[in-house]
A and B are shown apart, each in its own frame.
Chain A
Amino acid sequence: MTGFMTSTTSPAPSDRAPTSTTFSRALGTAALVGIGWLIVFGLFLSPNDRVQKKGVRILYLHVPSAWLAYLAFIVTAISSAAYLSKRTRSLTWDRLAGASAEVGVLFMGITLLTGSLWGRISWGVYWVWDSRVTTTAFLFVTYLGYLAVRGLGGTHHQRARRSAVVALLSVLEIPLVHFSVEWWRPLHQQESIANGKLSGLMLFSLFIGVVVFTLMYVWLVLHRQRLLAMQDALDDHGLEFAIAERREEAVF
């Protein structure tokens, strides 16, 4: 297969490991080690919260997930803008936007789920109608819509243009949703994270969580983006055969 990897940054995937390279393997290892560390600190070494006791440990999953979900959304938005700008038009940006959105929707779901569980444990409710939670839920549904639009078909560039525009419209929409919900149900004091003081060790564990999840995000997006590149290349490759077959019709 010639040339299809030229648009991505890293060289030389092999047949046994089609989307991994030295860099991604190192990254993956670091992420795994980090996850181990996070588990140790999050589940064992860090102290229980005075009020929430063991329940606070969900935060070590919830906060990094939320961070990752929002990071993914920002990356999708920036990549979409990069695709639309004539100077940097390249399908790599489109595939990055798509890969980031897929990872983002997964972690947005995890954020909502863990948040819901934490709310149940801490205050007895699965859901609150405040701006943070509701906007996150809307972001989740918006992601789903974005991914549906990506699946509409057409040439690679048609897909890219359509979904890039939808992504940017979503960027416009999110502040509107946030502020309307904020005015509707202002953030109640008791729901704020800065409720009790977080001990140093807890903060440290959260910090590890954020760092580790960022590594994980990069690793996931890297692989997914390469996979998308390969799928696109396969489509193009398939085109060669299809063209040859088509031309056969003319020969008799």
Chain B
Amino acid sequence: MDSVVQRVVQPVVQPVVALVDVVAVLGSFPALAGASLSVNRGEILLLRGPNGAGKTSLLRLCAGLLPVERGTATVLGCDLVADRTSVRNRVGLLGHSNGLYADLTVADNVRFWGATVGASQHEIDASLTRMGLANRLADVQVAKLSAGQRRRTALACLVARRAELWLLDEPHAGLDATGRDDLDVTLRSAAAAGATVIVASHELERAGALATRVVEVVGGQVRQVAE
């Protein structure tokens, strides 16, 4: 079995994500205007919807980065209204930016992020292999990589961090075919090992095939989609 995404031995409260009528603001703009969502453990959930609908904000809120203005939000058993920071280090977020240090090499970056959770060298090597980076690319500075390669590096960092909840914003964008396949395999293994995955994507066919459930985000709210 895939040792890279071995995980989560402690019991997880069901559901993993429980948002009820959440309002969240960016400045004075209500990115989320009464969003409700429930996600169970082991699901791979696809968020689809037009640009500006609030998909990114939804992901950031679940990561504890966006404050909850109204409503209730419980992620992995942690009340985000009371303390946004309690859910941190159990969640992995891949947003529009990659969270990489451009001057360091691929291996440096993965090693650093892995070290923040105390990952072993073996786990770090496995993360690199999983995302197809355990070759000469590992010693290349991130600044010199293509956008797709950077994305893969960011994913490798995410894998090394062994999160219980994966939040991915357009993860397929910029990846070539091999990269996308690698990603899909990784996400399926993660879910199989007990993690929960939420993906926001425009790649409806591919992500649709990957996902166990689909919802639509529009106007800052979440709408269920008939399967």
Interface positions of A (Cβ within 8 A of B): 153-155, 157-158, 235, 238-239, 242-243, 246-251
One of B25, B34, B223 near A239 (C-beta < 8 A): B25
Asked if A246 and B33 sit within 8 Å, CB to CB, the answer is yes
Count of CB-CB pairs between chains A and B under 8 Å: 43
A247–B218 alpha-carbon span in the complex (Å): 8
Across-interface contacts of B23 in A (CB, < 8 A): 239, 243
Asked if A243 and B67 sit within 8 Å, CB to CB, the answer is no
One of A155, A238, A249, A251 near B69 (C-beta < 8 A): A155
Majority DSSP secondary structure for residues of A touching B: helix
Minimum CB–CB distance for A25 against chain B, Å: 33
Q: How many residues of B contact A (CB 8 A)?
A: 16
Interface positions of B (Cβ within 8 A of A): 23, 25, 27-30, 33-34, 53, 67, 69, 218-221, 223
Known: A158-B67, A243-B33, A243-B34. A238 touches B28 (CB 8 A): yes
Please name the residue on chain B nearest to A252 by beta carbon.
B218
One of A154, A157, A246 near B219 (C-beta < 8 A): A246
A246–B69 alpha-carbon span in the complex (Å): 15
20 A–B pairs (Cβ distance < 8 Å), ordered by A: A153-B27, A154-B27, A155-B69, A158-B67, A239-B30, A242-B29, A242-B30, A243-B23, A243-B33, A243-B220, A246-B30, A246-B220, A247-B221, A248-B219, A249-B218, A250-B218, A250-B219, A250-B221, A250-B223, A251-B219
Minimum CB–CB distance for B135 against chain A, Å: 43
Across-interface contacts of A239 in B (CB, < 8 A): 23, 25, 28, 30, 69
